[in-house]
Amino acid sequence: GGVGKTTIAKYAFNSYFESFERSSFLYNVRDFSESTDGLIYLQKQFLSDILDGRKIDIQSVEDGINQIKSAVYGKRVLIVLDDVDEVDQLAAIVGMRDCFYSGSKIIVTTRHIELLRACGIELIDHVQKLSIGESVELFSWHAFGQDHPVENYTKFLTRIIEYCIGCPLALQVLGSSLSGKSLVVWESTLKELEVIPNSQLSKKLQISFEFIQDDHDKSLFLDIACF
């Protein structure tokens, strides 16, 4: 998580969607599908994108699949399914991919490579973590507003980069949180990072939440995050 799969997919989508007759980007498929009638909601969103905003009534997932077959017939479409974690999510939207017109493209982001293989998807790109040099540059942009660190803070940088393990999201969030903060705050943040295992990225990101001093502001932040 946070390695940049969705960001890359958005870049590809924004770069090429005008070359297709229709396009649809379905965000957070995993989260939506967990809700009641989540798959039907995703099918409706997809059909609305493909049919220029037309409201669609779907009675069941099977009904949605049939309507999708009809909607994509004869059209070159670009589809992104973001954060998929179950086979039935793919099946509900693109399970009938043999029906898609020649030249259509389907992009799937997921943390589960075995899911892609189970669905017969062979063209797989492993998103790599950032190199040390890339990590320094990304962190510096968010912490200092430039592509290199400020001299007085250089002593902290190597250790912070090490604990962010090349994850763009962690680098961006921590860099933004530390921007404009004193050396004392940087030192205390580093001590917190050192006791969190590399596997627990969410706890590293939570450090930025703890920077919020006011309880009301913390509640407001969580409300915004939920929406």
> DSSP letter at 130?
P
The pTM is what? 0.74
Amino acid at 124: I
**5-119 belongs to which CATH class?**
alpha beta
Reported as a single tens digit per residue, the pLDDT across 69-120 is: 999 888 899 999 999 988 889 888 888 777 888 899 999 999 888 888 888 8
Reported as a single tens digit per residue, the pLDDT across 171-221 is: 988 898 889 988 888 888 888 877 776 556 676 667 667 767 678 888 888
Strands 22-26, 105-108: pairing kind: unpaired
Contacts of 24 (CB under 8 A, 6+ apart): 45, 46, 49, 50, 77, 78, 79, 80
- Rounded CA-CA distance 10/8 in Å is 5
Domain boundaries, the chain: 5-119, 132-226
* Residue given tokens 């450090």 in the structure block: 207
